[in-house]
Every structure is written in C-alpha cells, then in structure tokens.
Chain A
Amino acid sequence: DVKVTQSSRYLVKRTGEKVFLECVQDMDHENMFWYRQDPGLGLRLIYFSYDVKMKEKGDIPEGYSVSREKKERFSLILESASTNQTSMYLCASGGRRETQYFGPGTRLLVL
C-alpha cells in the first residue's frame, strides 16, 4: 500500500512564527502536492512539485513556500504564520496516470 505520512497531526503556533510541515511518501512518485481544506471552501491546491527541486504554484500560493530536495519528501513552509492560515493541511503524492494518495492531514492552529 502507498503510504503518505505527515510530520504532525496537530500543531499550534503563534502569529509570526515560521512553520514547517513535512510530508514523506514511500512509492517513488514523481508528483507531490500540498492542499489546505477549510469548511465551505473544500480542498485548495497550494503548491505542487513534479520532480526534485521543481515546484509550481497552485491556486493559493500566497504566504507559503515549498521545498523538494529529495524525491520522497515535500515540505510546506509558512514563513510568518498568520491566523488566516489556520486550516487542515493535506499532502498528496501521485505518479503519471495514477491517482493522488493523501496523507492523514495536519490540523494547524495559529494563535
């Protein structure tokens, strides 16, 4: 079975802190994705990566950056957390002609 793991299930941070969300997949997938999910807004794509060191902006990249130094790891960075970034963050991976496999999610609260 494909396994996508995220570093934390729950995180509480303060406004202005730098936040790192880590995601690791074990299926050698080329593509990895970061979404956030908010009530009434569904899942929205933040960034995705189709190869090591490659990244593309999704629909809502503002306030976020990403890093993909190794194929299996894709990190989401909040340079200066704000309260409007309180959300559920979901990482996914997938190869060509394959579906996306999601991690369990990280629920982030920014105070």
Chain B
Amino acid sequence: LAKTTQPISMDSYEGQEVNITCSHNNIATNDYITWYQQFPSQGPRFIIQGYKTKVTNEVASLFIPADRKSSTLSLPRVSLSDTAVYYCLVGESWGKLQFGAGTQVVVTP
C-alpha cells in the first residue's frame, strides 16, 4: 500500500481557499486517490476521489499532477463548519485503504 504524507494541521479564516497537499511517492498504477473528512465523534465521510488530472464536485476539487506522486485537495471559501480532520488515502478503491494521521483544518472567523 502506498504511504501518504500530509501536513499535521492547517489554519484558515472563513471565506479563504484551503489547499492540502498529500505526497504519495510510491503510488501504484491501479491506485486511486481518495479524500475523507471527519468531524469529532463521527465516522469519516467521503469527499472526493480521482485517478489523474482534476476532479471537481460540489464540495471540493482534487488536483493530481501527471506523475501522480502527490495530490492537492482544494476547499473553496471555507466556513467554520469545514473545521475537521482531512485524510488522504491511496489504494485500490475497493480494498484496503490506509488511513494516515490526517490534517487537522481549523477555520476561524
């Protein structure tokens, strides 16, 4: 399983864009990149998944360069409710996913 490295924490103000970069140098050909969000005392929630280039949904965008050794989750115009831990995972999307420590994002007014 490809190991991921992401910042431990990030602070932001409301209305700003937050970009979290995840490194996964040993990503395999069949691996997808998936991001989850977790609030305290709740299970993680899927945000976005991609294989290459750019993926966008109503919550976030995911940028993946051609070499796929890293990815960036972009949260546009964050609000206080976006304060959470964000996990970057790499693996075959149906199977074992390795959760790292995640990135604690704190949004303040």
The reply on B13 being an interface residue by CB < 8 A is no
| CB <8 Å contact, A102 and B94 | no
Q: Is the interface of B mostly helix, strand, loop or mixed?
A: loop
The reply on B97 being an interface residue by CB < 8 A is yes
A98: which B residues are within 8 A, CB to CB? Answer: 93-94
Residue of A nearest to B99 (CB): A43
Within 8 A of A (CB), among B7-29: none
The CA of A95 and the CA of B94, in the complex, are separated in Å by 6
Q: A104-B43, A105-B42, A105-B43 are in contact. Are A99 and B49 (CB under 8 A)?
A: yes
Within 8 A of A (CB), among B77-105: 87, 93-102
Contact residue range for chain B? 10 to 19
The reply on A13 being an interface residue by CB < 8 A is no
Identify 12 new A-B residue pairs, CB closer than 8 A, beyond the known A42-B99, A42-B101, A96-B93: A45-B98, A48-B96, A90-B43, A92-B43, A94-B93, A95-B94, A97-B93, A99-B49, A100-B44, A104-B42, A105-B41, A107-B41
B residues within 8 Å of A by Cβ?
A: 34, 41-46, 49, 87, 93-102
In the A-B complex, list the 10 residue pairs whose CB atoms are closest, starting with the nearest.
A102-B43, A43-B99, A99-B46, A96-B94, A90-B43, A42-B99, A42-B101, A102-B44, A105-B43, A97-B93
